[in-house]
Structure 1
Amino acid sequence: MPATDDRTALAEAALRECMPHELPSTVTSVVGKHFGASSCRILLADYGLRFLAPVPTGAGEAVPVDGTAAGRAFASQEPVVVGGDPVTVYLPVSDRGERAGVLHVCLPAPGGTAGPRDVEALAGIAAAVAQTLMAVERDTDLYAVARRGRPLTLAAEIQWDLLPRRSAVRPEFHLGAQLEPAYTVCGDNFDWSADGDRLSIGVINGEGTGMPAATLTALAVQALRHARRTGADLADQAMLANEAVWAVHGGRRALSALLLEVDLATGQVQAVDAGSPLAFLTRAGRSEQISLEPQFTLGALEDTVYTEQSFRLEPGDRLTVVSDGVHAALSKTQEGTYRERALARILRATPLAPAPEAARMILRDLAEHVGLIPLEDDAVVVCLDWFGR
């Protein structure tokens, strides 16, 4: 059998050469040939981050994220080995922090375990699967179909196609985000972009429901991206997006947004608060809302001028941004909002969870608060762990 590095290199070469739809069969073939695996499957996280579904659809049962070995590998981003004969190994399929799913491998193991050499080599192959998946997934519908625990509404399809990756790992920060209800979301969205000097984050909440909310948010997101890519500062990005929404809707429709720009060298944050999303800072075990002066929502008034405000992040801080579908959600007894009764508690309870997992945990806790799984109202959570330079 080839050496560990050779096995990984052979797998990477095969993955580079395969067609987009051939990724599952190629990795199964390679792992079977070089590791003697009796089974190898790619399990992708569904849109709601509740299940890990096999590719292609129908190639087995979906596995819950909560309470399973596969889910532990996904949440912890570490390999999980389940002893036996065959031994089962679950390996994170992740690229630059984006958690796509896990690789499920069954190995013959007379001793009931897998050696570290095999696990290390398989982890390298799982990383190569992730890189290949990110490169080819838009060239076929195979992976988008596999991620669907149930049908998406057209509005939700628009929102998911607008989104960047849900998580990212950089030396200066880790970021994780999620939106709900994953299969019927209408107007809530998040966006982010990072270059060598700055990280831009936006949480957007288009008013209304269904397709009107989805198309309104799509217009605003693309207007903000366009302004950002032309080099406009944060205040001008908000102004240009406001003009775009006004030009189409003439003040009849508007959306709220919180726009942030983080200086990666210093942790200085510029902010434009154009509505209802709120930001909370967790530092040294305490969580407090960041006080920002609200300004007009995007599209509400023609020729609105926006003003940037600022605050600073320190290494070890966690910044959590939530839409009004989170902080204003009423409890199932209608006796208080999530912000009033539960948000501070969950922020304090999740400091050690990775940012993507913290976002998922907050939305799961929110669903229990309102007594609805899945949620009915749009809700977005973005978590940013700041390390600095």
Structure 2
Amino acid sequence: MAISNGLSAVYEALHSAAPYALAEVVRDALVAHTPVQSAELLLADYALVALRPVLDTPVLGDDEIRIDSSDAGRAFASQQAQWEESHSTLHLPVTACGERFGVLSVRLPIAPELDDVGELLEVAEALGHGLRGADRLTDRYQRARRMARMTLAAEMQWGLLPGYGHTGKGYRLAGQLEPAYAVYGDNFDWSCDPDSLGLSITNGMGEGMRAALLTTLAVTALRNARRSGAGLEEQAGLADEAIYAQYGGREYVSTLLLRFEAATGQLFAVDAGSPRLIRLRGLDVETIKFDQQLPLGMFGNTTYVEQSVSLQPGDRMVVISDGVYGGALLGRGAVRRGAPRVRRQIHPAATGRRGRQDNDSWHADVQGRRRRLRRRRRGVPRLDRRPDRRSPSPREGRCCLRCPRTLPRTGIAV
């Protein structure tokens, strides 16, 4: 197949496309200028349970394209192209700078060669970059991702996020809020610089809109201080004053501020609340304990002190909230086996006996990249057997293929 011959026209069409028409433009350009017969853009829903079509609007009664049991879902989870022989369809992960959006599924007359797969993967990546900017200008893709009505508190929290993931120099980061459609007080924020990555993980007290408004003030105050050039100590102090000025000490926010310097391997922290930090190094699991300091907004004149810990290439850092460890303890084996095992154990910790969500919660996991990375050959794996259900390696930072629907989690994976 001559995929490459028409790609310049595809890129030109994508570059000039209106933000609300990216899916149609990519489909029409691929069909007109390449051997692609049809195409569909599938976006992951907010809970990372299913992939939602953008062009072919689903109707009541349609089967879900579940991430844990479909070829398209396998492409999303593994971040590798998947060839579905029965439908002559190639599923391509749509990702930009480490942030996963979904899958571009293209129907082809014959199985593609490796070079063709590589060309189409680049188209999917370009589409991912377009989607990043389009979300600021149109609600179309956010509507397509929703499987249920989102509460106002959850809308505020998702609107605060700078993104759901990022791959930078020396680290990988990914994040998730749960329960996705009803989260209220928990949130995370991050910002990357040429030489460092900054994270803030917040948990506003209370429930519903009360917690969401409190967390919104905290995240905005921390951003204002960070963007003014303040370090972690000053960020915490200024946010503490802002929250106290508004609530007079009646409300406060548990917060963990982190700054990771990839060049030195140092992780700096200000621990002002409940989040816990766990480090996985090889087969060793260790809880990193910092000096406990007062939550933001409790007194308004607190002096915060920065602390640090040394990391090594390949270390994995997991941050969990009170919604997780307040219900049950995570076993060392859970962290050692990676995200899928952790999620299966934190599910009963943050849900009630009747299966309802008692508290919003999150876990964050931070992984430093090894200095030597083996280059993986991009190709089409065989799919003449059932999808591999084994838990992915924790170093790959993949989405769990066995996540339960009601899994409570909010995460950052670096």
> 2:337 is matched with which residue?
349
The correspondence for 1:188, drawn from 180, 186, 189, is 186
Q: CA deviation at 1:35?
A: 3.3
RMSD: 1.9
Looking at structure 1, the residues matched to 161 and 259 of structure 2 have their Cα atoms a distance apart, in angstroms, of 18
Letter in 2 for 1:345: G
Change (3 A) 1:185 1:20: same
> 2:76 is matched with which residue?
74
Looking at structure 2, the residues matched to 371 and 304 of structure 1 have their Cα atoms a distance apart, in angstroms, of 34
> 2:106 is matched with which residue?
105
Letter in 2 for 1:229: R
Task: Show the 5 A alignment for 1:209-228.
Answer: 209-228=207-226
Q: CA deviation at 1:98?
A: 0.2
Letter in 2 for 1:8: L
Determine if contact 2:324/2:349 at 8 Å carries over to the other structure.
no
- TM norm structure 2: 0.84
Letter in 2 for 1:179: L
> 2:47 is matched with which residue?
48
Q: What does the per-residue CA deviation read over 1:328-384, in whole Å, with 9 as the maximum and x for residues that have no partner?
A: 22xxxxxxx1x2xx343221111xxxxxxx3x7644542255566674421112221
2:365 aligned with 1:367: no
> 2:361 is matched with which residue?
379
DSSP 3-state at the match of 2:305:
coil
Letter in 1 for 2:100: R
> 1:332 is matched with which residue?
none
DSSP 3-state at the match of 2:73:
helix
- The count of corresponding residues between Structure 1 and Structure 2 is 366
Q: Name structure 2 gaps, 5 residues minimum.
A: 372-414
Task: Show the 5 A alignment for 1:1-389.
Answer: 3-56=2-55, 58-59=57-58, 61=62, 62-84=64-86, 86-109=87-110, 113-329=111-327, 337=328, 339=329, 342-350=330-338, 358=339, 362-363=342-343, 365-368=345-348, 375-387=357-369
Q: CA deviation at 1:27?
A: 1.3
Letter in 1 for 2:101: A
Q: CA deviation at 1:28?
A: 1.3
Q: CA deviation at 1:25?
A: 1.0
Looking at structure 2, the residues matched to 260 and 217 of structure 1 have their Cα atoms a distance apart, in angstroms, of 17
DSSP 3-state at the match of 2:135:
helix
Moved more, 114-123 or 127-136: 114-123
> 2:399 is matched with which residue?
none
Q: Name structure 1 gaps, 5 residues minimum.
A: 330-336, 351-357
Moved more, 282-291 or 4-13: 4-13
Change (3 A) 1:186 1:143: same
Letter in 1 for 2:46: Y
Change (3 A) 1:361 1:87: farther
Q: What does the per-residue CA deviation read over 1:248-298, in whole Å, with 9 as the maximum and x for residues that have no partner?
A: 000010010111111221011111110100000000111111011111011
DSSP 3-state at the match of 2:245:
helix
If asked which structure has higher relative contact order (CA below 8 Å, sep 6+), I would say 2
